[in-house]
Amino acid sequence: MKNLLSISDIVETIENQLGTCEVCATAEAVFEDATALLVVDCDSFLRVVNQRGADETLRPEWLPHKDSVKTHVPREEAVAAAKDIFRSWVKKVRQASHQQPSTPTNV
């Protein structure tokens, strides 16, 4: 399998008891030429943005759990297909963010 695409997006910025947080979505895509198999591993996390020190990364229960999408596509369509899968993932993460508890738990 060859690395095809690595992509991330800050879906939105929210405020909660931890302070300012970025809701993030990521995807790593690989492609197997011999079988035309595209595998896209999607993830999401909450990044606490600190003015001082390193940012903290958390995975609250309300965010979608890691997911892996496998599909067969021609090589010339693989990048576009991976981006389409990522756009769909971003929508799912955004929807979860809008439905988060007003006081997040287990962060």
Give me the average pLDDT of each 10-residue run along the chain (107 residues): 95 88 96 97 92 79 96 97 98 91 49
Is residue 56 domain-resident?
yes
Is residue 106 domain-resident?
no
Q: Please, which residues have CB within 8 angstroms of residue 34's CB and are 6 or more apart in sequence?
A: none
Is residue 105 domain-resident?
no
pLDDT at 100: 75
- Buried b / exposed e along 39-55 (16+ C-beta atoms within 10 A): bbebbbbbbbeeeeeee
Query: What angle (nearest 5°) sits at the alpha carbon of residue 14, between those of residues 8 and 18?
Result: 105
Number of domains forming the structure of the chain: 1
pLDDT at 103: 46
Is residue 61 domain-resident?
yes
Is residue 89 domain-resident?
yes
Is residue 28 domain-resident?
yes
pLDDT at 99: 83
Is residue 103 domain-resident?
no
Query: Which residue range forms the structural domain that includes residue 53?
Result: 2-98
Is residue 68 domain-resident?
yes
Residue from 104, 85, 80 nearest 25 by CA: 85
pLDDT at 102: 53
